[in-house]
Amino acid sequence: MTREIGHFVGGKTVAGTSGRFSDIYNPSTGAVQAKVALAGSDEVGKAVENALAAQAGWAAANPQRRIRVLIEFYNLAMKEIDSLAELMSSEHGKTVPDARGDLQRGIEVVEFAIGAPHLLKGEFTDGAGPGIDMYSMRQPLGVVAGITPFNFPAMIPLWMAAPALACGNAFIMKPSERDPSVPMRLAELFIEAGLPEGVLNVVNGDKEAVDALLHHRDVSALSFVGSTPIAEYVYATGCANGKRIQALGGAKNHLIVMPDADMDQTVDALIGAGYGSAGERCMAVSVAVPVGEQAADALLEKLVPRVESLRIGPSSDADADYGPLVTKQHLDKVRSYVDLGVEEGADLLVDGRGFTMQGYEDGFFLGGCLFDNVKPDMRIYKEEIFGPVLSVVRAKDYEEALELPNAHEFGNGVAIFTRDGDTARDFAHRAQIGMVGINVPIPVPLAYHSFGGWKRSLFGSHNQHGPDAFHFFTKPKTVTARWPSGMKDGAEFVIPTMK
Ligand code: NAD
């Protein structure tokens, strides 16, 4: 019998009642290993009702009490990190060490959120006017929801859950239907850590569950991470329903290679950032831009043999550079982009389409692919591929190289490799991109900074984690107070000003 994954509501797992399910694969073997229930609007409604009932009590607990739950959760998650990594790897296809990194980055946001008592402190002005004091506070929004993508099944749910809970909200998690087991286990760990039942519920599902959350009057805010078309839809629909929305979308991250860059270090960076996790990262480098023909030739001379010798393996192979893609459907999509690149006239220097993994012939594997002479008007350049495919776009000079990411519709991450401080500084200022790396290929900010792109990589005005998360998950209130002894007799008809 295939294992069935339900939902997590009121502190326990419950079976789905909609009768709709989605298959969960083992990407290394291609076999269906479980089925996840897809919630209908009734089930979402029950989860919201449950969260609403629990939220006021949780908000009333003082911030230190709340973060003690996070501290205990941190301890439990660290104790279980190896088995969680294996579970993640078996559904997602990323290698176990990479899955561990996914968990670790999420747990770091829990660590940051433990600073909530400090981060939630308001401001106070003593004597803002005659006998008048003024102070501000940040209050939770109520019931908030998080909708997450398949590619970071622990990190991204924790980006949202940790600050949302620390601020005193109840949180409804809607993980990706492709790898929901780790989010379900994280929810159990929160309850084991002492979180009151109902403060964190998980509804599994697809568009139907997302739509139910977007239209539910008791959901105050939604945090979304996924592809750009869905991010835009979630943003527009949520805003039209009066909700606070942050929606992070797709990416096409460039790495500019200046002629003075250390080529060995640059190639190491491109191999790891282009092909790690099979390119299924929103911060993966998918475009390399060597500046000048000499730099391009020097780069490719070293890069081609490295792409040809990538070590691909089942996700359980800890020494593999990367594992299979998440589903057959996604594999077919990525492969069709490689076909398209050839049709569009780019030079396919390394063709991974023929790769098969011995002993895992039905797994969703694709060998590393490398294109040269990709042009900005090609679809393989304009669109996000999200696979182990790197495109080289040659630029004649620095200005032409800078214009490429700046003119692109996405603005998530970008990097420059150079030894020249002047160029690096100019690049950091002029790049129209949210996260910039200088000799760092994947410039993912640490938990106490905020993560977010520009342009069509983020809809809304708040980034993830860091101080922004405490602003997104709270509403500010300012109180002006005067006591009778400070009041003058008589009504005032003119707007009060500071004379
Ligand atoms: P996706 O957009 O297909 O799914 C994301 C979430 O939206 C899932 O929970 C899914 O169930 C839900 N969803 C899917 N279709 C929907 C619809 N029609 N209506 C409403 N909800 C829907 O994304 P994915 O394939 O799971 O993840 C990969 C994408 O996420 C890539 O584009 C990647 O760049 C992006 N991503 C972005 C960031 C970032 O920080 N900017 C981080 C990770 C991933």
CA–CA separation, 472 and 319 (whole Å) = 40
Which one of 147, 206, 227, 463 would you pick to mutate in the ligand 1 pocket, going by the greatest count of ligand atoms within 8 A of its CB? 227
| Mean pLDDT for the stretch of residues 142-166 | 98
Could you give the residue numbers annotated as active site? 282
CB-based contacts of 368, cutoff 8 Å, min separation 6: 275, 307, 308, 310, 312, 350, 352, 388, 389, 390
Helix 398-407 / helix 421-430 crossing angle, nearest 10 deg: 30
Helix 155-166 / helix 96-113 crossing angle, nearest 10 deg: 10
Q: Is 437 in the pocket of ligand 1 (CB under 6 A)?
A: no
**Which residue pairs from 215-219 have beta carbons closer than 8 angstroms and sit at least 24 positions apart in sequence?**
215/241, 216/44, 216/45, 216/48, 218/48, 218/49, 218/52, 218/142, 218/143, 219/48, 219/143, 219/144, 219/145, 219/172, 219/243
| Whether pLDDT at 113 is above 90 | yes
pLDDT confidence tier of residue 487, bands split at 50, 70 and 90: confident
Predicted model pTM: 0.97
pLDDT confidence tier of residue 133, bands split at 50, 70 and 90: very high
CA–CA separation, 139 and 38 (whole Å) = 33
Pick the residue whose CA is nearest to atom 27 on ligand 1: 149
Q: Is 173 in the pocket of ligand 1 (CB under 6 A)?
A: no
Distance 148 CA to ligand 1 centre (A): 6
Distance 150 CA to ligand 1 centre (A): 7
Q: Is 250 in the pocket of ligand 1 (CB under 6 A)?
A: yes
Q: Is 177 in the pocket of ligand 1 (CB under 6 A)?
A: yes
Report the DSSP beta bridge partners of residue 92. Answer: none
Domain 3-249+457-479 class, CATH top level = alpha beta
Pick the residue whose CA is nearest to atom 15 on ligand 1: 207
Q: Quote the pLDDT of residue 57.
A: 98
Pick the residue whose CA is nearest to atom 42 on ligand 1: 282
209 within 8 A of 48, measured Cβ to Cβ: no
Pick the residue whose CA is nearest to atom 24 on ligand 1: 149
Per-residue pLDDT tens for 52-102? 999 999 999 999 999 999 999 999 999 999 999 999 999 999 999 999 999
The amino acid sitting at 418 is T
Per-residue pLDDT tens for 170-181? 999 999 999 999
CA–CA separation, 443 and 450 (whole Å) = 12
| Whether pLDDT at 498 is above 80 | no
Q: Is 65 in the pocket of ligand 1 (CB under 6 A)?
A: no
Per-residue pLDDT tens for 373-382? 999 999 999 9
217 within 8 A of 377, measured Cβ to Cβ: no
Q: Quote the pLDDT of residue 320.
A: 97
The amino acid sitting at 135 is Y
Q: Quote the pLDDT of residue 496.
A: 78
| Whether pLDDT at 130 is above 90 | no
pLDDT confidence tier of residue 288, bands split at 50, 70 and 90: very high
Q: Is 150 in the pocket of ligand 1 (CB under 6 A)?
A: yes
CB-based contacts of 494, cutoff 8 Å, min separation 6: none
CA–CA separation, 69 and 203 (whole Å) = 22
Distance 471 CA to ligand 1 centre (A): 23
Share of the chain above pLDDT 70, in %: 100
| Whether pLDDT at 499 is above 80 | no
Report which of 158, 175, 79 is spatially closest to residue 113, judged by C-alpha positions. Answer: 158
Per-residue pLDDT tens for 314-373? 999 999 999 999 999 999 999 999 999 999 999 999 999 999 999 999 999 999 999 999
Q: Is 383 in the pocket of ligand 1 (CB under 6 A)?
A: no
Q: Is 72 in the pocket of ligand 1 (CB under 6 A)?
A: no
| Whether pLDDT at 490 is above 90 | no
pLDDT confidence tier of residue 494, bands split at 50, 70 and 90: confident
Per-residue pLDDT tens for 26-57? 999 999 999 999 999 999 999 999 999 999 99
Give the Cβ contact number of residue 376 at 10 Å: 12
Q: Is 413 in the pocket of ligand 1 (CB under 6 A)?
A: no
Distance 157 CA to ligand 1 centre (A): 13
119 within 8 A of 187, measured Cβ to Cβ: no
Per-residue pLDDT tens for 416-425? 999 999 999 9
| Whether pLDDT at 486 is above 80 | no
The domain over range 253-438 is classified in CATH as 3.50.50.60: no
498 within 8 A of 156, measured Cβ to Cβ: no
Nearest atom, ligand 1, residue 330 CA? 25
Q: Quote the pLDDT of residue 330.
A: 98
pLDDT confidence tier of residue 461, bands split at 50, 70 and 90: very high
247 within 8 A of 116, measured Cβ to Cβ: no
Boundaries of every domain in the chain: 3-249+457-479, 253-438
Nearest atom, ligand 1, residue 457 CA? 41
Q: Estimate to the nearest angstrom the gap between the alpha carbon of 174 and the chain centroid.
A: 13
The amino acid sitting at 323 is G
| Mean pLDDT for the stretch of residues 484-496 | 81
Distance 40 CA to ligand 1 centre (A): 19
Distance 229 CA to ligand 1 centre (A): 9
322 within 8 A of 95, measured Cβ to Cβ: yes
CA-angle at 20, arms to 15 and 25, nearest 5°: 85
Q: Is 223 in the pocket of ligand 1 (CB under 6 A)?
A: no
Per-residue pLDDT tens for 230-254? 999 999 999 999 999 999 999 999 9
| Mean pLDDT for the stretch of residues 422-443 | 98
Distance 459 CA to ligand 1 centre (A): 13
Which one of 21, 23, 179, 206 would you pick to mutate in the ligand 1 pocket, going by the greatest count of ligand atoms within 8 A of its CB? 206
